[in-house]
Amino acid sequence: MQEPRDGHERQGAHREDVVVLVSDRRERAERLARGIALVLPCRVVEPGAALPADRSIAFVVDLATDLAADRGSAWIMWLAERIRESGLPCLYLARGNAVQDTAAVRLLGAPTVIDPRQSAGIVPTLMRLVAEGKAREASSAKARKPGGGTPEVRVERATTLVTRLFDKAATGWPPSPEEVEEGTRIVLDTVSEVGIRTWLDLVWRHDIQVYQHSLSVAGFAAAFAAELGFSRNDRQRLAKAALLHDVGKALIPHAILNKPGPLTPDEMAVMRTHAALGADLLARESAFEPEILDVVRYHHERLDGSGYPEGLKGARIGDLVRLVAICDVHSALTERRVYRPPLPAAEAAAIMQAQAGQLDSDLLRVYRPIIFRAGNAAGGPSVLS
């Protein structure tokens, strides 16, 4: 491998926390570095150079070089590996070419992507990423302590991961498989340790409804998988599918997603696109299995053919989809709506039982105890399933 050149200029003798700007466009890099330096120390790294000796806190990658074609370049491969290994926030400035940008995103290990034409957004986004990176480091340091941190710390971490998942999806990029794995692991471990009721109490303290809904459905899925006696692998797959099931909502306009009243038929049609949009988005990342994509695309299908997007019936709806659909309906019924408090367990159980022609009745029977165990958790704000 070609060794990076030595002699990268360092400013100041002491080590400090710096943003590393990787760029092959010197003039642009200087301009951008000046903007970043207003809020955080910044070092520019040009192709072939070594990384600064200072402690890096984030990377900004602005390369005109085609990373797809340049995979053979030892320096690019070396750099991408350092960035991936570091686990630090990375902001990739998109070139506007989908093929090249997708290749770069894969190589860099799922960075945050921003369109540099909105250059006013680069520094604020970077500041947010650095702040999130520090919070993540602090919470994972706590979570690494014996016992894995308190359930509160773990739910906080899971919420951060789900926030990042939706933020990334909103920019049109699939979420990072590693972060989805970590979020899923937290849900499984915490639900098995503290139970579904405590999980919901903790999740519902956070007030962003779509994140809360994802974590609630994932919690129900973890409890359901345990009730069914699933293996660790199957539990992981079910909880992951549940965590991701509404990822397509990141692509639905806020005015529709957060509308406080009922949706008009046109708005409902837009809302319903979230299922296919989410599945198409995840399909861009090969790490997400076909069964997970099916859950995202078909979780609103119903056994009698009354669901959407395709009106699938009976046997055409897979097992994992049936399981998540039950958790999703339960979560929607028991979250607090603007126009009504969360439904009590007995009422939710009765409504779900009445949907036995639409939801799998054998699975509903197994699920029933979870409805009562989740019982009178605090309830979240309004959310549509």
Residues that bind Fe ion (CB under 5 A): 246, 328, 385
Q: Please, which residue, 143 or 383, has the CB nearer to Fe ion?
A: 383
Report how far residue 357's alpha carbon sits from residue 304's, in angstroms, rounded to the nearest whole number: 6
Q: Please, which residue, 101 or 328, has the CB nearer to Fe ion?
A: 328
Q: Please, which residue, 90 or 217, has the CB nearer to Fe ion?
A: 217
Place of tokens 């399933």: 385
Amino acid letter, residue 178: E
Q: Do 25 and 64 meet the contact criterion of CB atoms below 8 Å apart?
A: yes
Report in angstroms how near the CB of residue 280 gets to Fe ion at its nearest.
15
Report how far residue 40's alpha carbon sits from residue 127's, in angstroms, rounded to the nearest whole number: 8
Which of 322, 321, 302 is closest to 311 using CA atoms?
A: 302
Report in angstroms how near the CB of residue 63 gets to Fe ion at its nearest.
37
Q: Please, which residue, 156 or 328, has the CB nearer to Fe ion?
A: 328
Numbers of helices and strands, H then E, in the chain: 15, 5
Report in angstroms how near the CB of residue 251 gets to Fe ion at its nearest.
12
Alpha-carbon Rg of the chain, whole angstroms?
23
Give the N- to C-terminal CA distance of the chain in Å, as an integer.
51
Report how far residue 212's alpha carbon sits from residue 246's, in angstroms, rounded to the nearest whole number: 11
Q: Please, which residue, 237 or 245, has the CB nearer to Fe ion?
A: 245
Report in angstroms how near the CB of residue 276 gets to Fe ion at its nearest.
11
Q: Please, which residue, 52 or 175, has the CB nearer to Fe ion?
A: 175
Q: Please, which residue, 44 or 352, has the CB nearer to Fe ion?
A: 352
Q: Do 240 and 187 meet the contact criterion of CB atoms below 8 Å apart?
A: no
Residue ranges of alpha helices (H) inside 150-289 are 151-170, 177-203, 209-227, 232-244, 254-257, 265-272, 274-282
The CB-side HSE value for 145 (13 A sphere, CA atoms) comes to 11
Report in angstroms how near the CB of residue 274 gets to Fe ion at its nearest.
6
Q: Do 268 and 309 meet the contact criterion of CB atoms below 8 Å apart?
A: no
Report in angstroms how near the CB of residue 27 gets to Fe ion at its nearest.
47
What 3 state SS string does 203-234 have?
HCCCCCHHHHHHHHHHHHHHHHHHHCCCCHHH
Q: Please, which residue, 79 or 221, has the CB nearer to Fe ion?
A: 221
Report in angstroms how near the CB of residue 285 gets to Fe ion at its nearest.
19
Q: Do 318 and 237 meet the contact criterion of CB atoms below 8 Å apart?
A: no
Q: Please, which residue, 246 or 360, has the CB nearer to Fe ion?
A: 246
Report in angstroms how near the CB of residue 372 gets to Fe ion at its nearest.
21
| Residue 17, strand partner residues | 55
What is the helix, strand, coil percentage profile of the chain, to 5? 60, 10, 35
Report in angstroms how near the CB of residue 269 gets to Fe ion at its nearest.
14
Report in angstroms how near the CB of residue 295 gets to Fe ion at its nearest.
10
Q: Do 225 and 184 meet the contact criterion of CB atoms below 8 Å apart?
A: no
Q: Please, which residue, 21 or 241, has the CB nearer to Fe ion?
A: 241
